[in-house]
Amino acid sequence: MSKNELALPPLRLFIDGEWRGSSDGGTFEAVNPATGTSLGNISAATADDVHAAVVSASRQFNGGEWSRLTGADRGKLLWRLADLVQKDVANLARLEAMDVGRPYGEAFHVEIPLVADTFRYYAGWADKITGRTFSLPPFNGADRFSYTLRKPLGVVGAITPWNAPTMITSWKLAPALAVGNTVVLKPAEAASLTALRLGELIAEAGFPPGTVNIVPGIGSVAGEALINSPGVGKVSFTGSTAVGKHIGSVAAASLKKVTLELGGKSPQIIWPDADLDIVVPAAAISIFANQGQTCAAGSRILVHRTIIDEFSTRLKAHAEQLVVGDPFAEDTQMGSLINQKQLDSVLGYIAAGIAEGAELITGGARLKRPGYFVEPTVFIGTNSYRIAQEEIFGPVGVVIPFDNDDEALRIANESQYGLTAVLWTNDSKRINRFSNDLQAGTVWVNAWGPPHPAVPWSGTKASGIGEDLGLEGLHANTVVRTINLVSSA
């Protein structure tokens, strides 16, 4: 099969191990944003369908076959799933590139391998989930000994975004399953295809039916039903800050646990001692990878005033030779934005930047071709502009000058968000100071790149609550139980 032929997964709901239509027959369209062509109609889960999925997941959790597996058994299933993902990398990458408009090469070389790595990393934890022990002094003549267990939470409701849909799905499923939870997954409407393909691989790996249920559909219907379901013990969400705040408030009313991985407006800070031959292309990847539709995009580019002319000239030249176009062409570096709404929003921000007085040094226009392609765009401006304060989620960077470290730190932290930051310097004193004082979940030093499953990922301020990945992401899917043993003398 050539790399742009498509073998579609079932475009239905995956509930209790079966592929079903929705209870009211409703569907929504999967679209290839790079061409505007339809990829098919996917069943749209109703509240009744979500309820059926939660019932199925609860049954597996409460005494079903899944609940009786050992940690090692769960680990074997996750490992098998990782192998199946690895075998299917070309197909998953193809589905992702078609559904999302991102370059096939990015999905094939980076994202899908990370999915396999994530399932494998958590497979390793599944039989190593331990608590703590406490030797306590006697009380009233009785010996005391306490220990803790980490227990699964029950049914985890996972809700994912469209920008890196397969990777984020693995971040939600792998730790939840490793510790013994069951899952109901609501994928993003604009990017459900790889989640449905994962459903097929989950069945093939041999997970008991109902351990993972997949309910594609509309956020305000299927997502809303999931976050309101009394059968759900935790909501694990990645998406926008606006929807995250809503989910947080709904979850608070029923005291559900939540993990909220939300938006960002991350600073990159570039000092004169940095090697611009390295920094310029790397900074550009951070802004323009996935067409800028990356939560960690380093879209506020703080540059020391003494090098701002040289840096801006070089970034402009670099941006202008980036290849924007067909996601399946070998040399493509940027594909299409996800849809018309995102295109309108990104072009609206570009217009707002110009209206606010920012200097547009390159880009700014939509490409004259079908699909939603926007030129890599760079402004020079100040941190108070909307284009520097709001998450654009498109290929738009703002270069902001600074004169000294105090000012750089102040500007970097003057943001509602706190997801990531990148430091470009070899000065270890500076690296230590900024690593400590930046308000961010992740600080990269002289690099920007994909997360590793072993390393926790989180945001502060409006970028979220709780951690994904690493041991922290595993623990976030558990509850601690304390056992007190008391023996009379």
Nearer to ligand NAP, 85 or 392 (CB): 392
Candidates 56-64, 237-245, 367-375, 394-402; binding stretch for ligand NAP (CB under 6 A) = 237-245
Least spacing, CB of residue 251 vs ligand NAP, in Å:
10
Q: Tell me the C-alpha distance between 434 and 420, whole Å.
A: 12
**Using the rule CB under 6 A, is 339 a contact of ligand NAP?**
no
Which entry of Mg ion, ligand NAP, none binds 393, CB below 5 to 8 A by partner kind? ligand NAP
Tokens read off for 292: 């800028």
Q: Tell me the C-alpha distance between 362 and 312, whole Å.
A: 10
Candidates 120-128, 242-250, 323-331, 367-375; binding stretch for ligand NAP (CB under 6 A) = 242-250
Site for ligand NAP (CB under 6 A): which residue of 88, 99, 111, 224?
224
**Using the rule CB under 5 A, is 190 a contact of Mg ion?**
yes
**Using the rule CB under 6 A, is 8 a contact of ligand NAP?**
no
Q: Tell me the C-alpha distance between 135 and 59, whole Å.
A: 37
Q: What HEC string does 173-211 produce?
A: HHHHHHCCCEEEEECCCCCCHHHHHHHHHHHHHCCCCCC
Nearer to Mg ion, 31 or 289 (CB): 31
Strands (DSSP E) found in 363-477: 377-380, 396-402, 417-418, 420-424, 442-445, 457-458, 460-461, 464-465, 467-468
Residue with tokens 């299409």: 336
Q: Tell me the C-alpha distance between 183 and 62, whole Å.
A: 13
Contact 214, 187 (CB under 8 A): yes
Candidates 17-25, 99-107, 181-189, 371-379; binding stretch for ligand NAP (CB under 6 A) = 181-189
**Using the rule CB under 6 A, is 459 a contact of ligand NAP?**
yes
Q: Does residue 391 carry a catalytic annotation?
A: no
Least spacing, CB of residue 164 vs ligand NAP, in Å:
6
Which entry of Mg ion, ligand NAP, none binds 459, CB below 5 to 8 A by partner kind? ligand NAP
Active-site annotation holder among 106, 295, 391, 467: 295
Pick from 272, 334, 322, 270: nearest CA to 298: 270
Q: Does residue 295 carry a catalytic annotation?
A: yes
Residues near ligand NAP (CB under 6 A), total:
34
**Using the rule CB under 6 A, is 188 a contact of ligand NAP?**
yes
Contact 364, 375 (CB under 8 A): yes
**Using the rule CB under 6 A, is 175 a contact of ligand NAP?**
no
Least spacing, CB of residue 179 vs ligand NAP, in Å:
20
Other C-beta atoms lying within 10 Å of the C-beta of residue 243:
20
Q: What HEC string does 320-359 produce?
A: HCCCECCCCCCCCCECCCCCHHHHHHHHHHHHHHHHHCCE
Candidates 105-113, 145-153, 159-167, 271-279; binding stretch for ligand NAP (CB under 6 A) = 159-167
**Using the rule CB under 6 A, is 391 a contact of ligand NAP?**
yes
Least spacing, CB of residue 450 vs ligand NAP, in Å:
12
Candidates 8-16, 105-113, 185-193, 280-288; binding stretch for ligand NAP (CB under 6 A) = 185-193
Contact 46, 222 (CB under 8 A): yes
Pick from 341, 332, 312, 32: nearest CA to 193: 32
Alpha helix ranges (H) inside 10-70: 47-61
x-or-dash string of contact with ligand NAP, 252-291, rule CB under 6 A: ---------xxxx---------------------------
Active-site annotation holder among 106, 261, 391, 467: 261
Contact 80, 69 (CB under 8 A): no
The torsion angle over the Cα atoms of residues 95, 99, 104 and 106, rounded to 10 degrees, is -110
**Using the rule CB under 6 A, is 219 a contact of ligand NAP?**
yes
> Which residues, 413 to 432, sit near ligand NAP by CB under 6 A?
419
Least spacing, CB of residue 263 vs ligand NAP, in Å:
3
**Using the rule CB under 5 A, is 99 a contact of Mg ion?**
yes
Nearer to ligand NAP, 91 or 163 (CB): 163
Least spacing, CB of residue 99 vs Mg ion, in Å:
4
Contact 56, 232 (CB under 8 A): no
Q: Which residues contact 363 (CB under 8 A, 6 or more apart)?
A: 319, 374, 375, 376, 377, 378, 395, 396
Catalytic residues: 261, 295
Residues that bind ligand NAP (CB under 6 A): 159-164, 168, 186, 188-190, 218-220, 223-224, 227, 238-240, 243, 246-247, 261-264, 295, 391, 393, 419, 459, 463-464
